[in-house]
Structure 1
């Protein structure tokens, strides 16, 4: 794994997220009904280490993309803070313009992400020009990056987005993200709209670029196989909260949270003897306007105990490198599978 030894030293996380919350208020109707808030992201804490790829997985509506937009400050958080290399994002110490030069994002919709009136070359060169690079240098950088992502400038620089395929447009978006020479790239379902052969090419390109430029990735996807392939560590989200976070191989081999286990058991297998006979998870996620009390996963959990409906699980270390929010792993929680609270002599 490539480790970036930039500002702050290798021991300090590149990105630290503390108590991140995003609630979307709902309007009441003419009769005063409705209202309330959607708990899209509800108290998320995690770190991204320098040079790693942190994968983020979970069902649709779990808060993955909202978290990505909060990290980029594309929307105002309800609460919490984002710290980038020891400096609070949006403060006088780290203004948004400087932060966005160092952190870039690639979105899912490759066509909507590009201005249809700009050529490919101008789209990639636009960011550096906004940040003060002379046009000639910005165009030279754009052409170099287009070549690096497999789009020969002589053929593609003067084309417009509608003249490219989905995979080619996503390569343009990757080149545009790298044009400001960032230290971190957030990839929000960046390959989910591509067919499998093109997806594999783009994933290999992302792996090569990470090593070449010393990048750090936050890789958001619903495809568990892709996340396992790309990630050093994986964060599992459920209904706006972190269920589990830990090293990719360990998490996929032995999940600690029941929700993680259910997600992994839903992965299709090529082995006919390992066919899924019954659904690993029943029902839909609960309403984010009125989340369940206690553990949010307990209505769908096969290992739930009465205490799970009353007590909110604390984030605990299941192993020295694995964090999980489940009462089974919380000593003295009252769950039948939990270890008793150790008595202090």
Structure 2
């Protein structure tokens, strides 16, 4: 396993009450555990505010976690593996292609900056920038000395991808990297990402709201709800609707080109609960019409589904011994893990 995330947690603390003397917390990421194999693409989906982007920033240590650890190639980040070295191996591409770039640096300077910081000579860093710009489809002779405001959104995002690849990373985290692009440009960038993955033997963490894009890009999909993992498994099985009721609702909300498959009623009612005061037990139970007392009282663990290796679901309806009357899953084949 290339990347191993174990019991990662991040709460953001807020001052409340008279004269701001009280304190409460937003439970952005709460006890998240998963692994990513070398060469695979893990899609991460969920509603806005579920903790996807915070999770990405915790992995790359743009935010320091409250608890848990991240291991890269068996080495603990911040322990056996220095954060500086980790950032040679893990790079990130952000959603806003313009604000991600320094407007005062030329494209060549932006891409060459990281290699120069990590020890390359100025000439070697510039040469590397020209090479990687060509590989992302931007002619260095035409684009190297331009500035971000002179490029289109798709071209700027190619520059951001080039900048991420300049250090030859093992993992690239793509946080809504194509969501701000129009569909024709988005398709070009997605195909570019697939080509670069094969060429550089990359591993992707692909965060997106667009489930069609996630299905196209991903080998496995991780579904988050209110800071926790509720389902993780093969992309094809989850694309068929998944097992957790939240996953089914998420995928049933996808627009269909078939007029006979139109959605006439919302798959979910109500808004996600307040992350400052999340519900007890299963965090999805206030929005689930078939919730029972066990859903309110007990937090479900991630249950290993026998349908596929590594397929896990955190729902009392699939855990045989949970006590939910709708349980119809077979006995577990492997040890249950604590919910993430």
On whether the aligned pair clears a TM of 0.5, the verdict is yes
Q: 1:186 aligns with which of 157, 166, 173?
A: 173
Show the 5 A alignment for 1:138-287: 138-287=125-274
Partner of residue 337, structure 1: 326
Q: Against the structure 1 CA distance between its residues 33 and 303, is the aligned structure 2 distance closer, same or farther, given a 3 Å change threshold?
A: farther
Supply the distance in 2 between the matched residues of 1:340 and 1:83 (Cα, whole angstroms).
33
Aligned partners of 2:241 and 2:251 also within 8 Å = no
Show the 5 A alignment for 1:86-97: 86-91=74-79, 93-97=80-84
> Structure 1, residues 291-334: CA drift from partner, whole Å, max 9, x if none?
00010000111331221111100111122331010001112101
Q: 1:39 aligns with which of 8, 24, 27?
A: 27
Q: Displacement of 1:254 after TM fit?
A: 4.2
> Structure 1, residues 244-277: CA drift from partner, whole Å, max 9, x if none?
0000001111411000000000000000001101
Aligned partners of 2:317 and 2:329 also within 8 Å = no
Q: Secondary structure at the match of 1:329?
A: coil
Q: 2:71 aligns with which of 75, 83, 89?
A: 83
Partner of residue 318, structure 1: 305
Supply the distance in 2 between the matched residues of 1:32 and 1:184 (Cα, whole angstroms).
41
Supply the distance in 2 between the matched residues of 1:241 and 1:89 (Cα, whole angstroms).
22
Supply the distance in 1 between the matched residues of 2:21 and 2:321 (Cα, whole angstroms).
42
Structure 2: runs of 5 or more not aligned: 332-340
Supply the distance in 2 between the matched residues of 1:29 and 1:311 (Cα, whole angstroms).
30
Q: Displacement of 1:37 after TM fit?
A: 0.3
Q: Displacement of 1:228 after TM fit?
A: 0.2
Supply the distance in 2 between the matched residues of 1:182 and 1:99 (Cα, whole angstroms).
9
Q: Displacement of 1:28 after TM fit?
A: 2.4
Aligned residue pairs total: 329
CA RMSD of superposed structures (Å)? 1.3
Structure 1: runs of 5 or more not aligned: 1-12
Show the 5 A alignment for 1:7-86: 13-31=1-19, 35-86=23-74
Pair 1:309 & 2:327 matched: no
Q: Secondary structure at the match of 2:113?
A: helix
Aligned partners of 1:24 and 1:38 also within 8 Å = yes
Aligned partners of 1:332 and 1:339 also within 8 Å = no
Using structure 2 for the length normalisation, give the TM-score: 0.94
Partner of residue 338, structure 2: none
